[in-house]
């Protein structure tokens, strides 16, 4: 009772970075395989030599690696299959489903322009298909360059799409497309079909910008005498303005989000919700749940708009849900990049740092937020945020005096622990006539300790800073308040 062996592939062209749209396509392919069994293959479509770069290929590996979307088996480089592509094109010529076309690009461009001028739809007029064999032989003998064109048959081409149900194209609207260039290299549609056949792909799941390629590819499968795979066309991802996601929408590469401090799990979860819903109001899922719940029937037909705000929210959820100890590995490199501490230094006081992470992660949405908030705990001298000073240190002489009292109360403590601190400080607030409003004490203290108006609970801050540093920061704040009038 072997499960049907699904074979899916993600086939990006290495001409830019791994886009969030591409990442989502990869994710759905991956989810399908994890859910229903089979193989998730990776094919780099590098036949456009002019635009393909090694750097882009690296970006694809890095992006997929960061997201944890591991593919099965060896990577296939389309450029390595040129001979087979050519052989398939020649097979088409042999079995009469394609013909040689001697029209030059210049001629074609001219005719296209002429058609556009009269507002007509341009379609290749098949003139080279009407050449008789003697003429063809003569041109061949004269070494005239030619392309191989596929002869689109009569009728209509349709398929049952996994997300769109039935889609049909009248063949009369499809022109006799080129499959092999004059230099003998294959055109996209041929290369894809040749490779998908060779890789025994059973389900082609890709962006719906490929819908109009699909009838051509189906025609190619038939002409090559091969069984069709299934097709699933995923909706596009658009920017906030409803247009196709592009550079001017800001961060669109997966790597951008990695560097912005987004967790891969959050990215995946967010992407999964763009164009798919598990139903039942489920949103935040573990990877296992996502696999368990994945169902192509829940795939959306409509393009989705990428909302960075919701991604951040999702990331906040993940930050909150991830144990601080696990976060360590992701935060440590960012700490080093920010110049706050090296991973070695952090490791030396791992327990302390994990405790700090526990306090910070709940109020952060990105790793960058965590780093920002962690800063006061790593600097010898802190900066006072002007807004915080303005708000909490209004009356500077009085604040200085207040902080001296606070310092004395804290310095008098036997043990440096929250309960004792709270008791002492609340008693002090009482003595100073603040009554229940101990916040009047805590807030100026917070600024003295962190330089900021917002932080974790004040006793947690005191504990994380430790006795000596807390007291010296109070001294520094008092000095600062007295000097700068």
Partner RNA sequence: GGCGGUAUCGUCUAGGGGACUAGGACACGGCCCUCUCAAGGCUGGAACACGGGUUCGAAUCCCGUUACCGCUACCA
Binding of RNA by 171 (CB under 7 A): no
155 binds RNA (CB under 7 A): no
Q: Is 111 in the site for RNA (CB under 7 A)?
A: no
Q: Which stretch binds RNA (CB under 7 A): 347-355, 357-365, 375-383, 472-480?
A: 357-365
In whole angstroms, how close is the CB of 227 to RNA at the nearest point?
23
Evaluate whether 400 touches 478 at the Cβ level (below 8 Å). yes
Q: Looking at residues 24 to 63 of the shown chain, list those that interact with RNA (rule: CB under 7 A).
A: 45, 47-48, 51
Nearer to RNA, 283 or 345 (CB): 283
Question: 315-344 mask for RNA (x: CB under 7 A)?
Answer: -xx--x------------------------
Q: Which is nearer to RNA, 117 or 483 (CB)?
A: 117
Complex with RNA: residue 107 or 347, whichever CB lies closer: 107
Binding mask 365-404 for RNA (x = CB under 7 A): ----------------------------------------
Q: Which listed residue (209, 256, 292, 408) binds RNA by CB under 7 A?
A: 209
Q: How far is the CB of 285 from RNA (least distance, A)?
A: 12
Cα distance from N-terminal residue to C-terminal residue, the chain: 83
C-alpha distances in Å from residue 351, one per residue of 11, 207, 367, 368, 374: 44, 46, 19, 21, 15
Give strand pairing partners of 19.
253
| Stretch of 58-66, 309-317, 401-409, 477-485 lying at the interface with RNA (CB under 7 A) | 309-317
Q: Is 256 one of the binding residues for RNA (CB under 7 A)?
A: no
Nearest distance in Å: CB 466, RNA: 17
User: Could you say which residues in the range 415-454 bind RNA, by CB under 7 A?
Assistant: 438-439, 442-443, 446, 453-454
208 binds RNA (CB under 7 A): yes
Is residue 1 part of the contact set for RNA (CB under 7 A)?
no
Q: Which stretch binds RNA (CB under 7 A): 60-68, 133-141, 297-305, 404-412?
A: 297-305
- Is 23 among the residues that bind RNA (CB under 7 A)? no
Site string for RNA, 258-277 (x = CB under 7 A): ---------------xxxxx
Cβ-based nearer residue to RNA, 5 or 212: 212
**Catalytic residue check, 247:** yes
Per-residue x/- marks for RNA, 91-110, CB under 7 A? ------------xxx--x--
Judged by CB under 7 A, which of 5, 80, 110, 112 binds RNA? 112
Three-class SS of the chain? CCCCCEEEEECCCCCCCCEHHHHHHHHHHHHHHHHHCEEEEEEECCCCCCCCCHHHHHHHHHHHHHHCCCCCCCCEEHHHHHHHHHHHHHHHHHCCCEEEECCCHHHHHHHHHHHHHCCCCCCCCCHHHHCCHHHHHHHHHCCCCCEEEECCCCCEEEEEECCCEEEEEEHHHCCCCEEECCCCCECHHHHHHHHHHHCCCCEEEEEHHHHHHHHHHHHHHHHCCCCCCEEEEECCEECCCCCECCHHHCCCEHHHHHHCCCCHHHHHHHHHCCCECCCCCCCCCCHHHHHHHCCHHHECCCCEECCHHHHHHHHHHHHHHCCHHHHHHHHHHHHHHCCCCCHHHHHHCHHHHHHHHHHHHCCCCCHHHHHHHHHHHCCCCCCCCHHHHHHHCCCHHHHHHHHHHHHHHHHCCCCCCHHHHHHHHHHHHHHCCCCCCCHHHHHHHHHHHHCCCCCCCHHHHHHHHCHHHHHHHHHHHHHHHHHCC
Shortest reach from residue 274's CB to RNA, in Å: 5
Long-range own/partner contacts, residues 413-420 (CB < 8 A, 24 or more apart): 416/462, 416/463, 416/466, 416/467, 417/463, 418/459, 418/460, 418/462, 418/463
* CB of 112 or CB of 379, closer to RNA: 112
Question: Nearest approach, Cβ of 10 to RNA (angstroms)?
Answer: 12
Asked if residue 119 binds RNA (CB under 7 A), the reply is yes
Q: Which of 187, 199, 220, 403 binds RNA (CB under 7 A)?
A: 187
Scan residues 216-255 and list those touching RNA (CB under 7 A): 235-236, 238, 242-244
- Which residue in the list 244, 247, 310, 394 is annotated as catalytic? 247
- Pick between residue 71 and residue 159 the one whose CB is nearest to RNA: 159
Segment lying near RNA (by CB under 7 A), choices 28-36, 205-213, 219-227, 328-336: 205-213
Beta-strand relationship, 237-238 and 304-305: parallel
Q: Which of 298, 323, 333, 466 binds RNA (CB under 7 A)?
A: 298
Number of residues that bind RNA (CB under 7 A): 86
Q: Which residues are identified as catalytic?
A: 247
């Amino acid at each position: 009772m072997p499960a049907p062996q699904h074979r899916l592939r993600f086939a990006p062209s290495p001409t830019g970075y791994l886009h969030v749209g591409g990442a989502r396509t990869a994710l759905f392919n991956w989810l399908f395989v994890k859910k229903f069994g089979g193989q998730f293959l990776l094919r780099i479509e590098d036949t456009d030599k002019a635009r393909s770069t090694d750097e882009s290929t690296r970006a694809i590996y890095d992006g997929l690696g960061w997201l944890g979307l591991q593919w099965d088996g060896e990577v296939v480089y389309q450029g390595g299959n040129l001979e087979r592509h050519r052989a398939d094109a020649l097979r088409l010529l042999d079995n009469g489903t394609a013909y040689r076309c001697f029209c030059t690009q210049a001629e074609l461009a001219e005719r296209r322009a002429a058609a556009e001028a009269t507002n007509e739809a341009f379609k290749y007029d098949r003139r080279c298909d009407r050449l008789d064999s003697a003429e063809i032989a003569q041109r061949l003998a004269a070494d005239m360059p030619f392309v191989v064109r596929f002869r689109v048959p009569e009728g209509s081409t349709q398929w049952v799409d996994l997300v769109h149900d039935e889609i049909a194209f009248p063949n009369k609207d499809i022109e006799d497309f080129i499959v092999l260039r004059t230099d003998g290299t294959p055109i996209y549609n041929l290369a894809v079909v040749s490779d998908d056949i060779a890789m025994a792909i059973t389900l082609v799941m890709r962006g719906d910008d490929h819908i109009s390629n699909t009838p051509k590819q189906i025609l190619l499968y038939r002409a090559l005498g091969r069984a069709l795979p299934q097709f699933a066309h995923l909706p596009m991802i658009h920017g906030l303005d409803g247009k196709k996601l592009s550079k001017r929408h800001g961060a669109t590469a997966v790597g951008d989000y990695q560097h912005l401090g987004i967790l891969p799990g959050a990215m995946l979860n967010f992407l999964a919700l763009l164009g798919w819903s598990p139903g039942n109001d489920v949103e935040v899922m573990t990877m296992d749940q996502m696999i368990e719940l994945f169902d192509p029937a829940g795939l959306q037909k409509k393009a989705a708009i990428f909302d960075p705000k919701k991604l951040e929210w999702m990331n906040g959820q993940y930050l909150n849900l991830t144990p601080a100890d696990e976060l360590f590995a992701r935060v440590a490199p960012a700490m080093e990049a920010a110049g706050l501490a090296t991973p070695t230094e952090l490791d030396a006081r791992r327990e302390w740092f994990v405790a700090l992470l526990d306090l910070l992660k709940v109020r952060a949405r990105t790793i960058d937020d965590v780093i920002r908030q962690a800063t006061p705990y790593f600097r010898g001298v802190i900066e006072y945020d002007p807004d915080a000073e303005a708000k909490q240190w209004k009356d500077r002489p009085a604040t200085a005096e207040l902080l001296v009292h606070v310092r004395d109360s804290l310095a008098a403590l036997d043990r440096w622990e929250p309960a004792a601190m709270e008791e002492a400080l609340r008693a002090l607030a009482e003595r100073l006539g603040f009554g229940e409003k101990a916040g009047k004490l805590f807030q100026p203290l917070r600024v003295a300790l962190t330089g900021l108006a917002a932080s974790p609970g004040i006793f947690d801050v005191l504990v994380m800073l430790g006795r000596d540093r807390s007291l010296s920061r109070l001294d520094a704040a008092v000095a600062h308040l007295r000097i700068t009038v």
